[in-house]
Structure 1
Amino acid sequence: MALVTSAQLMRRDKPKREGNVHHVLQAALRQGLVKVSADRLLHVEESLRPSYEAFPKDARGNLPPHQVLPALTRAYFAKEHGWLVRGLESPGAPIISPGESHEDAHVAITGGPGGLYEVQILKDKAPGLAAALRDAALSPVAASAGLSLGDISRTVAALEQLLLEESLPLLRASYFLDGLDSGEDAQVPAVVEEWQAHEALLSYLLLFRHGLPRSLTDVESHQRLKQRAMKTADWSALKKFEAQALSEVVSGGTGKIGKISWSQASEAVSVLAMRYGRWQESECEDMKSTLLKMDAGGGRVKLQDFHGSPKHPHYQFTEKEDYLRKAGILVEEGDEQYVLIANYLLGPSNCIASSEYFAVCCLNQCEQVVSRLETILQAPAATVGQIMDAASGIRGNIGNIGNSSHDTHDDPPTAELQESLGMLVDNTGAVVLHSPGFRRWLHQAFPLECPRPTVQEDAAEEAELAEAREWLEMDEAARQKWQPLVLHPSECTRVPEWHAERSESSAEEGSEKNEPPGPPAAMLEVRHLADLMARCLCCALAGMEAWAQLHGVKASPKVDFFSPSVPPSQGFCARAREPISSGELLLDLPLQACLRPLHVDTCHFSDGTFVMDEQQKLMLQLLHEALVNGERSGWLPYIRTLPRTFPTLPLWYTAEEKKFLKGTSVDTLLEAAHIASDKDLQAMRACCQSDLLSILPDSPSLEQLRWAASVVASRAFDSSAAGVILAPFADALNHSSAAPHTRMRDCGKQLLFHAERDIPAGEEIMNCYGLQGNTQWLLNGGFRDSSRPCDDLLVTPADVVSSALAHLHYYRQDEAARSADDEESFLCSRLSLLQDRGLWHWQRVFLPITG
């Protein structure tokens, strides 16, 4: 079991003002999420996760509180929907007010510390949430707890819901224009016929696309508009788009519909509004193809060619020079003027469906590129080699992001890209991903997808960078201040995610020898992580002895229940301090010392909607202790010894990582487990969001739910008297399917563990949980039974590198097992390869080996 502490999930004491600000914000978010489904919230969280992982975080895993939120929100809407939200424009971008054309655009001054609370729809429709966001944004960095992934995803989901609800007045107008109600004061019909619903939704799409200004009462004008639309070549595609959305809402895509209620039509409108940006992207791709034919190199088109291109039925390049220059689309090189293709496509002149609060524009393909990079690198910074490898893989699959015609475009020379990227390397040997220089490099590497940043965008990136540095410096100062009083092991063992400076002696040695720069400092620190973890594991257990006495736990003095494993990165284990005879009592554990779902069992679910099993209840109880009680929890010493992450658990692998499980029986089990776990997580999220469950004042994030699910799945015991429980001390007896070391007796009020055989001094003591195979162990625990080395797939946490996110996964097809020495030699050679390639800390590595 790879143990790292869970302290980052626990609340800490904060200044009173910040606590009040955070409480008000959470209350406003709960109100804003009333109509947001658990499934939608999970989708938003998963979309934001790569960017969250790639930003620098403090010891609690939180992001800086001010600059990051508007940037992540803007990127989410641009990537997912192509929405340009009013008040959330990119710094330096031209703003087109509702009902105006691009010729009336003026330059935005947004992007400063204000940010998200300036969004117009929040000020108009959710002033309480806007005020809470404003207080949170303007509070001092020193007094802020920062932003968790849950905070960010809930905020984005609440804003998304507000924007979707703006489609309801248009649907009501569509009913009127199609003769389904008699006016604004009349009630819409409770149900309509299927054909009437189709007509109303098509009318909605026409109104939505037309944008402002539009008439919602002129029936004759609307019907003429509809008749003209029916004669266009796109009408059949529009009807198919509308019909599919309604069918999914009403019949789940089976095609059986019948009469349509207002609520069903409203839900279909939300689906149409959410998907419209992706559906109309074909027009943007057509424009891109046309511009590519005129490409003069580097994603640029000569201005004279731009204006001289033939007219197209759906678009024409008529933007004036003044607008192009103001929008950062036009560049001058010598005597020639060029239009930047990526900048032009993302410009507001190509936005349609303009409303009071947002417009639908071309999807931001650059944000999709960035998201893929972040998914691969999973760090705030990376080496030149890692970035080049990741970028190369993305360019090889660029057709999945943008226009397939990119295949005919000449990519920038690799040597040139590598040289320019090398100029961004800082004194730690890494390139910071969220920085102005890296954004400019993205434009060079992906000129057809990534726009060239404006001066204002560069300034905004610098502000984010400065805040991140201040945030992490203060976090480090706080740790130093409080460390003598309250020691959180995660703060000792956490590998810095920002750039730690190299020691002066190392720098001097490098300069004297005139050697090339070594690996980043964070990589160097991983080499010493084993010593750090060995010391800090002991720190984490400092209170366990007193806690055991308080709860009546009796452990044999012959057993060291929390002996650091070898290597230390694999956490704790139980070892015999001296010889133990068969039958000796190893542990007497009262049930009162076990973590049980007491609060959850007493919760009353008044409407009977939610039914949870024992494992789900225990998960919520664990979250209650970690998130709500925190430092006051009676199980705090035990919670600190729990794993913080489960990187070896296949259930949480990314899509790329799962490819290495194909063809194994783990893959088959994994598919079924994913379906079950998704249902569990969604049901628990729904419980937490409802007012029925009071033990968690805030809805936990997906990351926190996964943490609790992983702990319970891999460590829980089943007691006849108390059901599913977490048993301190007992779970140090690492699980093994073939370990005849101990047996557990369930005596009702206590659990007794006895030795099953003579155990020599120094040997690890394991508990037998039955005859499960490697497949089940890999799925539930992420580790294999060493007594069955050739079964299916071997997942080996290799030395300290495993806890630093570099894991070896290899699959054997033959039945012949290698000797332990051969395996150790093989792993050492692979670790050397990882070290040479600079992959100690920055990403996971999967090496499929056959034969």
Structure 2
Amino acid sequence: MSSFRQLAVVTFVICCGADRPKDFAAIMDELTGPVARASCVESMLDSIEGSMGVKTRHWIEGQVPTFEAALQPLFTSLPSRQGQPGQLSQRVAMYALHRVFVDERGWFLHSLEEHSLHGEAPLPPITSILQNQIPSSAEQAFQACFQNGAYMKELAVLAATLDNLVHQEVLARTMSVFKANKLPLFGSVRVDQMDTALEQVMMSYILEEGGSASAFEAYVSGNLSISDRYPNWAELQRFLHHIEGVVMPAKSTHLKFDDLSNLIHELQVHFGRWQDGECQEQMRELRKMEIEECPGHVNLRDFYAANLYHNKWQFSESADYLRVVGALEESEPDSPRVIMSNYVQGPNNCVASSRYYSQCCMNPCSSHLSSLEKAVAGSEVSPELLQSAISMVLPKPEASQSELWDRLRKIARDGKVALHGSSFAEWLHWAYPRDCPAVSGGPTPRQEKPTEYTARTGLPTDFPEHDMRSFVEQGPKPASQCHLKWQVSGGLESWDESELERRSTGRLLLAAHEQVLQILRPSAPIAAGATVAAAAMLCALWLRPRSACNAPSCDLLVTHASQ
């Protein structure tokens, strides 16, 4: 401990008593935070270099600015840890990572699935996104940096490290395909051989949950048709060749294994956007069946009829599976309805699986939320300001605007609406029912992919055709009315349950509210005398009743301490 820090501790103990050293340590950690954070980032990068090589470090450092830019609006709008401005709690940092990868690439990181982050189970460490795939020395350095929370630069390094692991995973799969096809890892291969290798790599992702190597070989050899497993295979082939044409040198006839690096990274970045085209097509088909009086909903009978009579092979999930993943609305039991946004954005539509993530549909509601985050730059905002921002940066809401604006005022707490709270998440669903997932009023839906559901229940996710036909032909007539109710109580009730409010919005759960207490953070290291003065003032402020700290005296304390 430096001499000025020791002196400050003594001052604090004399002033406040020897029973508060932990409180003072927390304050001093905040005061010296910028230096500590820079050191922490450097230790993470040094550990990567020492255990994974300088090239890996340089690759990660090259990706950090991209992730910082993506994280910046979230750090501006998400609530900081109490007393730690600019630092997110573990749970909120996980939500920030979740948002970045979903928004940018449609990646749903396995350790950030909602069912992992909700419930009574202990929260996994944020470094679990790396799936224990970095050396233990680097893992320890990362864990040390994130033990109390996360700052933006640290989180960007973590995200870039994951990005590198995904990149290495694809290279490893490509190497395996090269070996299986007896292609040289050193030297050149023909372009048509490269095309085949790329297709087989992508096939391995689509079949990841299909199981055995023999099954993969059956698809590669043509004994089984990949188009039967994944009907959009022909379109995916065209996408792969398009990316290849953009990235690879023009008129190339031969390529090297090393040429794959740029191509593979481009595929990683852009595949989610391409795959989302299938999701948008699903939504267009569902909109053809949408209940006029109930935007964003489709009668379950019409859903199955599209499968039976209009060759819409996707619409085959059983009612139980739809219910489990939160895509079935049953307020009128005799007339169940599919919630379009929850269905399209659900785990049923994840196609390619990696060790680290599943490739799923993107969430257009997240774009709406991102626009608002940039517009209001805060975690809480008055209903009036939020209404103005919505009117300026978002499309016109679907529902009655007078009802929506009235609801916006009702869900405010102390005159503020939590931008990432469950009440506002539900408001967004009512305003944009086709874009924003419905909030569950009951237990959090399980976000189980079909294989996970089958493993847990022993049941298939698809509804047998004869049962589907019986339901369509003999089931009750669907109701033409829509009697939906708000599921989340507004105002104080929804805030008193926990310090951390969780939201249940399909695959984007997790937003939070925390009380934010701003603690002093000088922009430069402080000298010994200033440290003692700051310690004494902070001590006085700490011991006084909150009501006794009037605005002028508090402002004076902050002014002197910051000097």
Q: TM-score, normalised by structure 1?
A: 0.46
| 1:411 matches 2:398 | yes
Go from structure 1 to structure 2 and tell me whether the alpha carbon gap of 1:337 and 1:133 turns closer, same or farther (over 3 Å shift): farther
Tell me how far apart the structure 2 counterparts of residues 28 and 111 of structure 1 sit (CA, whole Å): 30
Q: Which amino acid aligns with 1:117?
A: T
Alignment of 1:485 with 2:532, yes or no, is yes
Measure, in 1, the Cα distance between the counterparts of 2:332 and 2:233: 46
Work out the CA distance in 2 between the residues paired with 1:460 and 1:118: 24
- Counterparts of 2:138 and 2:499 in 1: how far apart (Å)? 24
Q: Which residue of 1 aligns with 2:417?
A: 431
Of 275, 279, 294 in structure 1, the residue corresponding to residue 274 of structure 2 is: 279
Compared CA separation, residues 131 and 330, structure 1 to 2 (3 A): farther
Higher strand residue share? 1
* Matched AA of 2:378: A
One-letter amino acid of the counterpart of residue 113, structure 1: L
Shift of 1:207: 2.8
Shift in alpha-carbon separation, 1:22–1:274, aligned structure 2, 3 A = closer
Residue identity (%): 21
Q: Compared with structure 1, are the counterparts of its residues 313 and 503 closer, same or farther at alpha carbon in structure 2 (3 Å cutoff)? A: farther
Structure 1 residue aligned with 2:88, among 64, 84, 90? 64
Aligned residue number for residue 390 of structure 2:
391
SS of 1:84's partner is strand
Distance of aligned partners of 1:292 and 1:133 in 2 relative to their CA distance in 1, 3 Å threshold: farther
1:13/1:378 CA distance change after superposition, 3 Å: closer
Which residue, out of 71, 90, 113, partners 1:89? 113
Taking structure 1 as reference, are residues 115 and 441 closer, same or farther at Cα in structure 2, changes over 3 Å only? farther
Which one of the candidate residues 315, 320, 342 is aligned to 2:318? 320
Secondary structure, aligned partner of 2:290: coil
**Whole-angstrom CA distance in 2 between matches of 1:227 and 1:465:** 42
Q: CA deviation at 1:347?
A: 1.4
Tell me by how many angstroms 1:418 deviates: 0.8
Report the Cα offset of residue 387 of structure 1: 1.8
In structure 2, the CA distance between the partners of 1:132 and 1:304, relative to structure 1 (3 Å rule), is: farther
Question: Deviation per CA, 1:305-336, whole angstroms, max 9, x where unpaired?
Answer: 22232356674212112222222222321333
Q: Secondary structure at the match of 2:209?
A: coil
Distance 1:305 1:129, change over 3 A: farther
Choose which of 485, 494, 514 in structure 2 pairs with 1:468.
514
Q: How does 1:657-668 map to 2 (within 5 A)?
A: none
Q: Which residues of 2 match residues 70-469 of structure 1 at below 5 A?
A: 70-91=94-115, 113-119=123-129, 121-125=130-134, 127-135=136-144, 139=147, 144=148, 146-177=149-180, 179-181=181-183, 188-213=185-210, 221-224=219-222, 237-251=235-249, 255-296=250-291, 297-310=294-307, 315-335=313-333, 336-396=335-395, 411-427=398-414, 429-454=415-440, 455-456=443-444, 461-462=500-501, 468-469=514-515
Following TM superposition, by how much is the alpha carbon of 1:195 offset from its aligned partner in structure 2, in angstroms? 2.6
Find the aligned partners of 1:19 and 1:259 in 2 and give their Cα distance.
45
- Is residue 327–residue 347 contact of structure 1 (8 Å, CA) maintained in 2? yes
Shift of 1:128: 4.7
- With over 3 angstroms needed to count, the CA separation of the structure-2 counterparts of 1:331 and 1:28, relative to structure 1, is farther
Distance in 1 of aligned mates of 2:434 and 2:173: 35
Assess if the C-alpha contact under 8 Å between 2:227 and 2:234 holds in 1. Answer: no
8 Å contact kept, 2:174–2:197: yes
CA–CA distance in 2 between the matches of 1:365 and 1:117? 27
User: Residues 110 and 21 of structure 1: is their aligned pair in 2 closer, same or farther, counting only changes over 3 Å?
Assistant: farther
Q: How much has 1:262 moved relative to structure 2?
A: 0.8
- Write out per-residue CA displacement over residues 452-498 of structure 1, whole angstroms, 9 at most, x where no aligned residue: 234449979527888832xx4484799xxx9873559xx9xxxxxxx
Q: For residues 465 and 82 of structure 1, what CA distance do their matches in structure 2 show?
A: 18
Write 1 or 2 for the structure with the bigger share of helix: 2
- State the structure with more CA Rg: 1
Quote the Cα distance in structure 1 between the aligned partners of 2:109 and 2:132.
Answer: 13
> When the two structures are aligned, how many residues end up with a matched partner?
450
SS in 2 for 1:318: coil
CA distance in 1, matches of 2:136, 2:177: 29
From the superposition, tell whether residues 315 and 327 of structure 1 become closer, same or farther in structure 2 (CA, over 3 Å). Answer: same
Q: Which amino acid aligns with 1:284?
A: C
Cα distance change, pair 266–25 in 1 and its aligned pair in 2 (3 A): closer
The superposition leaves residues 254-274 of structure 1 with CA deviations (integer Å, 9 ceiling, x where unpaired) of x34343111111331232133
How far apart, in 1, do the equivalents of 2:121 and 2:88 lie? 15
Offset at residue 49 of structure 1 (A): 1.4
- Give the counterpart letter for 1:282 in structure 2: G
Task: Give, in whole Å, the separation in 2 of the partners of 1:357 and 1:237.
Answer: 25
Contact 1:84 1:359 in 2 (8 A): yes
Contact 1:443 1:450 in 2 (8 A): yes
Q: Does the residue aligned with 1:310 lie in a helix, a strand or coil?
A: helix
RMSD, aligned CA: 4.4
> For the Cα contact (< 8 Å) 1:246–1:265, is it kept in 2?
no
Does structure 2 retain, via aligned residues, the 8 Å contact 1:211–1:354? yes
Rounded Cα–Cα distance in structure 1 between residues aligned with 2:158 and 2:407: 37
- Preserved contact between residue 92 and residue 327 of structure 1 (Cα < 8 Å): no
Does the 8 Å contact 1:90/1:111 carry over to 2? no
Among 29, 54, 70, the alignment partner of 1:47 is 70
Report SS of the residue matched to 1:462.
coil
**Is the Cα contact below 8 Å between 2:101 and 2:107 reproduced in 1?**
yes
Q: Identify the residue that residue 557 of structure 1 maps to in structure 2.
A: none
Q: Is the 8 A contact 1:165 1:270 kept in 2?
A: no
Which blocks of at least 5 consecutive residues in structure 2 are unaligned?
Answer: 1-26, 446-493, 503-509, 523-528, 539-545
Indicate how the Cα distance of structure 1 residues 266 and 484 shifts in structure 2: closer, same or farther if over 3 A, else same.
closer
Aligned pair in 2 of structure 1 residues 367, 44: CA closer, same or farther (>3 Å)?
same
Give distance in 2, aligned partners of 1:308 and 1:301: 11
**Matches of 1:150 and 1:328 in 2, distance apart?**
35
Tell whether the 8 Å contact from 1:212 to 1:355 is kept in structure 2 after alignment. Answer: no
Question: What secondary structure, in the 3-state scheme, does the structure 2 residue paired with 1:72 have?
Answer: helix
- Displacement of 1:71 after TM fit? 1.0
Cα 1:63–1:315 shift into 2, 3 Å:
farther
CA distance in 1, matches of 2:520, 2:155: 23
Quote the residue 1:776 is aligned against: none
Q: CA deviation at 1:17?
A: 12
Task: State the AA in 2 paired with 1:153.
Answer: A
Q: Using a 3 Å threshold, how does the CA distance of structure 1 residues 135 and 303 change in structure 2: closer, same or farther?
A: farther
- CA–CA distance in structure 1, aligned partners of residues 388 and 329 of structure 2: 30
Structure 1 unaligned blocks of 5 or more: 1-7, 94-107, 182-186, 398-409, 492-501, 507-524, 542-851
CA shift, 1:214, in A, is 5.3
Does structure 2 retain, via aligned residues, the 8 Å contact 1:91–1:460?
no
Higher relative contact order (CA 8 A, sep 6+): 2
